[in-house]
Copies of this chain bind each other. A is one copy, B any other.
Amino acid sequence: MYPAAIQKLKHCLKNKVSTTQSDCYRASFDALKISFLPQAVIHAKVPEDIAIVLNLANQFKIPVTTRGAGSSLTGSATPIHGGWVLDMSALKKITILEKQKLAIVQPGVITEALKKAAEKRGLFYPPDPASAHFCTIGGNIACNAGGLNCVKYGVTRDYIIALKGYLPTGEPVSWGLPLRKFSAGYNMRDLWIGSEGTLGVITEATLKLIPLPQSRMTYLAVFQNDHQALVAARKFNHFNIIPCALEFLDETSTRCVAPKYLPKKFAGSSFILIDLDGEKDAVKKDFSHIKTWLKKETPDYLIAQNSTQRNRLWKMRRECSPSMFFYGDSRLNEDIVVPLDKIPSLINFVKKLSKDYDLTIPIFGHLGDGNLHANIMFNRKTPSQVKAAQSVLHHLMHKVIELGGAISGEHGIGLAKSTFFPLQHSAHEINAMLKIKQALDPNNILNPGKIFKPFSPWQYPSVPDKMPWDKI
């Protein structure tokens, strides 16, 4: 396939192009675990490599799928139409401009590495996907990642000041400048953010940093059951405290992740995990409110006394997603969002689905911003479970829309949610988006087959391989 194109590619990008079966296989799937083999993998080393790749791809009409860590849960990085995979993971330069409180980063930077580099200078990059220790900034921008700290600090988009990169047709562009105000022309920066690699390839991002909060407190509230936790959460809101994280782990989730980190009796309880940060005095002031709340609402709670204890609790939370394979070899991780007052309705609905269809559906996530992760677990080889998972997904997505919610809060649409995309947007809305795709990418080179084209993952086998971060 495309031998002339690959020959040219290899000629132009010496030692950066691989066509070995093992490299192509590794690039053939992401965390969705459905494999489509590409014909070549390009390991970009400098931004200019991208122009060469895109120019050739347009000339030969070859699909190009950009890839960072491959941690996309929706298949955004899966090369569904084959072609070339553009691996950006070697582009991982970080420059911190301390005085200006900015970071200039390449897309292959691991989110956690940026957070640490900022912290060393007393600065803070708030976006904090649970996958921060393996996902990349490029991927975070592509799907407008959120994470644990959004309730107070917002999402990736809120920290992006400027982007550099290439249009699908290969021309270099810059969107935005490191300025506090900018009102000169169309905002292409925000159009790129969240477009899942379909409208351009990012080679550099200028990110906003903020002063590192002086103080931090972590609390774990343990409830007998989910109902009790949700009632308590509603009361928490009355304090008008904005925590930097407010996470929920349901009974099913804790049964799986708690034993490794906490006394055995806590497994099967329902958790609310709270982080407060800010000025020392303010955090102290809030502490007294929260202690009252804890004492009143639950007999069992933990207050992390040091960073080791805190990290332990948050490690448990971060392990939720990869650990859920305990309940099945396959899962649908749905990062749905609903208005805050609709959270109990949603959770109850999920529990009912779980019972009706006899599937385990742990639900955990961001209670503070209404973005919950419903993990529909099933075994691929059990046809009845596959069928049940399909039905559960269908009902769940319709319910989310009925509650005024979004089918994705931070993962994006990719392949996994494309079937439900028309629930979220009208035909006119989707048509307008498609017109933009067509205008900027007339040859449909960049990440074709994503977002807009219904895809049924059920027809395809799941790869047996584990991602490096999968726990079980």
Segment 187-211 of A: residues with Cβ below 8 Å from B: 187-188, 190-191, 193-195, 199, 211
CB-CB under 8 A from A145, the residues of chain B are 183
B181 touches A146 (CB 8 A): yes
Question: Is A329 an interface position by the 8 A CB rule?
Answer: no
Contact (A424, B185) CB under 8 Å given A179-B370, A406-B179, A440-B436: yes
Question: Is A218 an interface position by the 8 A CB rule?
Answer: no
B177 touches A405 (CB 8 A): yes
Against B, the Cβ 8 Å flags (1 = close, 0 = not) of A135-178 are 00000000111100011000101100000000100011111011
Nearest-neighbour CB distance to chain B for A143, whole angstroms, equals 6
Question: Is A438 an interface position by the 8 A CB rule?
Answer: yes
Interface-located stretch among A34-42, A253-261, A316-324, A426-434 = A426-434
Nearest-neighbour CB distance to chain B for A366, whole angstroms, equals 8
CA distance A370 to B100 in the complex (A): 13
CB-CB under 8 A from A368, the residues of chain B are 180
Question: Is A466 an interface position by the 8 A CB rule?
Answer: no
Nearest-neighbour CB distance to chain B for A460, whole angstroms, equals 23
CA distance A190 to B433 in the complex (A): 13
| Main SS at interface, chain A | loop
CA distance A438 to B439 in the complex (A): 8
Question: Is A392 an interface position by the 8 A CB rule?
Answer: no
CA distance A157 to B158 in the complex (A): 10
Contact (A426, B186) CB under 8 Å given A146-B181, A181-B150: no
Nearest-neighbour CB distance to chain B for A72, whole angstroms, equals 12
B183 touches A194 (CB 8 A): yes
Segment 325-380 of A: residues with Cβ below 8 Å from B: 335, 337-340, 366, 368-371
CA distance A413 to B306 in the complex (A): 53
A432 touches B183 (CB 8 A): no
B188 touches A194 (CB 8 A): no
A429 touches B173 (CB 8 A): yes
Question: Is A240 an interface position by the 8 A CB rule?
Answer: yes
- Of the candidates B157, B181, B339, the one whose C-beta lies within 8 Å of that of A370 is B181
Question: Is A248 an interface position by the 8 A CB rule?
Answer: no
B173 touches A428 (CB 8 A): yes
Question: Is A2 an interface position by the 8 A CB rule?
Answer: no
Question: Is A79 an interface position by the 8 A CB rule?
Answer: no
Of A158, A174, A194, chain B has the most CB atoms within 10 Å of the CB of A194
CA distance A426 to B184 in the complex (A): 12
CB-CB under 8 A from A188, the residues of chain B are 191, 429, 432-433
15 pairs, CB–CB < 8 Å, chain A vs chain B? A143-B183, A144-B182, A171-B431, A179-B337, A180-B368, A180-B369, A180-B409, A181-B370, A182-B406, A183-B412, A184-B424, A185-B194, A186-B194, A186-B437, A188-B429
